[in-house]
């Protein structure tokens, strides 16, 4: 099978594109770091790729809100190219700032089923300031809450680091979250046990909770403890934690205590994307 190609789309202020491209290439893909301005000049270039990834960082300095300007560029100037991409059997991933962009552009939660978004309909959800009101960087434990998302195949629970100021997912109404849950779109939830806490005796955490978990288990106050959201097809994923920062076991804060060796657990997310096209 041909090696899948990944477009790691960066904008002014993006700062995780090199690590993300490295993660995809280490998983067997060919990854190109493409500047947004290049794609704006030639939107048809997107058709050459099987995976679109929006990495983390602070696009446009988050000057009027995290991901807002990047999202408006996608929605206003790349709508047709993105529509064609979403309707094909391809994948899209947004990490941290990339998740903020996907949500605020309208690529999530509906994916191809609601793209392009209608301007006269209020957004179902947004990502806003953490409850503590400040940038927060720590390790969290996550429970895979949906079996349908391509990126999360073979994963039950996973540790990953977060690093953001606006990661609180807020929906307009609880019924929206209930609909996501029914559709298998709530992809990842924060659970107890981050960084090795409660795991040394084999305890893998307490599982997903319907009650709002406190800081630091839920580090931003997201409704329903949501850390990641997918589209109805399972081919789009947005998540606040950074899988590209756990590619090697030694990146885990308790790698010696837990006896971790070799590859980090975050690599599986990128490998799943590659294997979708090569397996």
Report CA 92 to chain centroid distance, whole Å: 9
How far is the C-alpha of 35 from the C-alpha of 25, rounded, in Å?
18
pLDDT at 201: 33
Could you tell me the end-to-end alpha-carbon distance of the chain, in angstroms, rounded to an integer? 9
How far is the C-alpha of 73 from the C-alpha of 64, rounded, in Å?
14
Catalytic residue among 16, 164, 242, 252: 242
Residue 244 annotated to the active site: yes
pLDDT tens per residue, the chain (279 residues)?
Answer: 689 999 999 999 999 999 999 999 999 999 999 999 999 999 999 999 999 999 999 999 999 999 999 999 999 999 999 999 999 999 999 999 999 999 999 999 999 988 988 877 778 999 999 999 999 999 999 999 999 999 999 999 999 999 999 999 999 999 999 999 999 999 999 999 876 554 433 344 445 567 999 999 999 999 999 999 999 999 999 999 999 999 999 999 999 999 999 999 999 999 999 999 998
pLDDT at 224: 98
Assess contact for 99 and 165: CB atoms under 8 A. Answer: no
Residue whose entry in the numeric block shows the structure tokens 């089923």: 113
Residue 101, Cβ density class (10 Å: 0-12 exposed, 13-18 middle, ≥19 buried): buried
Residue 96 annotated to the active site: yes
Give how far Cα 140 sits from Cα of 22, 69, 155, 210, Å. 23, 28, 15, 17
How far is the C-alpha of 112 from the C-alpha of 93, rounded, in Å?
14
How big is the CA angle at 137 (ends 134 and 142), to the nearest 5 degrees? 115
- Beta-sheet pairing, 91-95 with 51-54: parallel
Per the structure, the count of domains in the chain is 1
Assess contact for 92 and 52: CB atoms under 8 A. Answer: yes
Catalytic residue among 157, 166, 192, 244: 244
Residue 242 annotated to the active site: yes
pLDDT at 203: 43
Catalytic residue among 96, 157, 164, 192: 96
Q: Looking at residue 59, which CATH number applies to its domain?
A: 3.40.50.880
Q: By residue range, what is the domain housing residue 37?
A: 5-278
- Beta-sheet pairing, 226-230 with 157-164: unpaired
- Give the residues across from 171 on adjacent strands: 125
């Amino acid at each position: 099978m041909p090696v899948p190609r990944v477009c790691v789309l960066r904008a002014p202020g993006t700062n995780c594109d090199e690590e993300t491209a490295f993660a995809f290439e280490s998983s067997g893909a060919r990854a190109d770091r493409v500047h947004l301005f290049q794609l704006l000049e030639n939107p048809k270039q997107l058709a050459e790729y099987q995976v679109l990834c929006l990495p983390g960082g602070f696009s446009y300095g988050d000057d009027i809100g995290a991901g807002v300007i990047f999202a408006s560029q996608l929605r206003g100037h790349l709508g047709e190219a993105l529509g064609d991409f979403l309707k094909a059997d391809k994948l899209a991933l947004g990490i941290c700032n990339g998740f903020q962009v996907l949500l605020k552009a309208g690529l999530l939660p509906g994916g191809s089923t609601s793209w392009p978004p209608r301007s006269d309909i209020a957004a179902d959800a947004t990502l806003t300031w953490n409850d503590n009101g400040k940038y927060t960087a720590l390790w969290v434990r996550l429970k895979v809450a949906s079996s349908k998302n391509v990126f999360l195949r073979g994963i039950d629970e996973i540790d990953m680091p977060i690093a953001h100021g606006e990661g609180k997912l807020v929906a307009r109404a609880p019924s929206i979250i209930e609909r996501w849950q029914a559709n298998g779109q709530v992809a990842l939830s924060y659970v107890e046990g981050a960084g090795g806490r409660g795991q040394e005796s084999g305890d893998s955490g307490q599982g997903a909770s319907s009650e709002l978990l406190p800081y630091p288990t839920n580090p931003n106050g997201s409704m329903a403890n949501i850390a990641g959201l997918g589209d109805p097809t399972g081919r789009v994923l947005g998540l606040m934690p950074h899988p590209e920062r756990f590619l090697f076991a030694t990146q885990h804060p308790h790698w010696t205590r837990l006896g971790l060796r070799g590859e980090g657990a975050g690599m599986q997310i990128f490998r799943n994307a590659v294997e979708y096209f090569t397996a």
